[in-house]
Amino acid sequence: MVHVTLRQLQIFSAVARSGSFSNAAKELHLTQPAVSMQVKQLEEILGISLLDQVGKRILLTEAGQEVQQTGLQMMQQLLQLEHNLSALQGLQRGRLTVGVVSTVSSFAIRLISLFRSRHPNIRITLNVVNREILLQQLQTHTVDIALMGQPPEDMSLQDEVFMDNPLIVIAPFNHPLAKVRNIPPEVIAKEFFVGRESGSGTRMATESFFRTRGLTWQVAMEMNKNEAIMLAVEAGMGISVVSRHTVTQELAEKRLRSLDVEGFPIARSWHLVCCNTRTLSLATRAFSDFVIEQSPRLSGLA
């Protein structure tokens, strides 16, 4: 009998998914040596190599692919068992992992706080990651449900719009264009931008805005956190495109200004997303219904 632990399978799955020991260590909140040791022990127990080192990348051997697939199936079965038991107990117990992109994180925290006030015994984990990682976590069932922008159509996901998410152009409060009305896109394209990282929903929407008008924009700096972008814009390092919901306080305090640019705000939405291939737990279904019910009431506060 092979004596493999679930923890070893979980760690190996993280290494396989992320492509490196260091990334897996960060995801699991472990040290890199601890991750390496667990994978080595797994290989010794199974008596076969599971990983190949190619430069800085780690690739799965054929045996590694088999172990990863089996591990995912086992963890999914255990999660399903937990969900079934939670359903039998109502919402007196249960666990819920919510994944969100950084744009929606502050709003998600308010939603989770209200949800916990109704269901204090539900243990909730919040993962704030970028769009690419969140899609990976949905596919691997690392998160139960996600709050994000428009999901891709080529993935087995179901989604529902729960809130409008208009994108605006922000600048320092005393920017030369601050009081100009109907700024042409070709004028704004000459400004230096503090942009979101490649692959983010906001970045893709901004690129599409300029591309459809035959314009190129100047990205002077990239950042993956809205808080950092707002500080950079306030410091005069450039202008940016962000969700209006993320800068409500900064606009009210006159630290930032929303520029009146033709074609803005860009109309976008936030979506509630889950995997089609997964049976939702009672806690997940309850949270989904809660988000749809409460978001219109909270939208004015976001």
Tell me the two tokens of residue 5: 């632990």
pLDDT tens digits, 154-164: 888 889 999 88
Residue 300 has pLDDT above 70, yes or no: no
Is there a shared CATH topology between the 6-72 domain and the 167-259 domain? no
Q: Which CATH class is domain 167-259?
A: alpha beta
CATH of domain 6-72: 1.10.10.10
CATH of domain 89-164+269-301: 3.40.190.10
User: What average pLDDT is seen over the chain?
Assistant: 88
Give which of 149, 111, 158, 165 is closest to 271, Cα–Cα.
149
**For position 153, what pLDDT does the model report?**
83
* Backbone angle region of 55, left / alpha / beta, with phi > 0 → left and psi within -120 to 50 → alpha: left
Cβ(75)–Cβ(6) below 8 Å: yes
Number of Cα atoms under 13 Å in the Cβ half of residue 116 = 14
The rounded percent of the chain whose pLDDT value lies above 70 is: 94
Q: How confident is the model at residue 207 (pLDDT cuts 50, 70, 90)?
A: very high
Give the DSSP per-residue string, 145-208: EEEESPPPTTSSEEEEEEEE--EEEEEETT-TTTT-SSB-HHHHTTSEEEEEPTT-HHHHHHHH
Residue 264 has pLDDT above 80, yes or no: yes
Residue 175 has pLDDT above 70, yes or no: yes
**For position 87, what pLDDT does the model report?**
61
Mean pLDDT over residues 249-276, rounded? Answer: 93
pLDDT tens digits, 52-84: 887 778 889 999 899 888 888 887 788 777 776
Give the residue extent of every domain in the chain.
6-72, 89-164+269-301, 167-259
Identity of the amino acid at 146: A
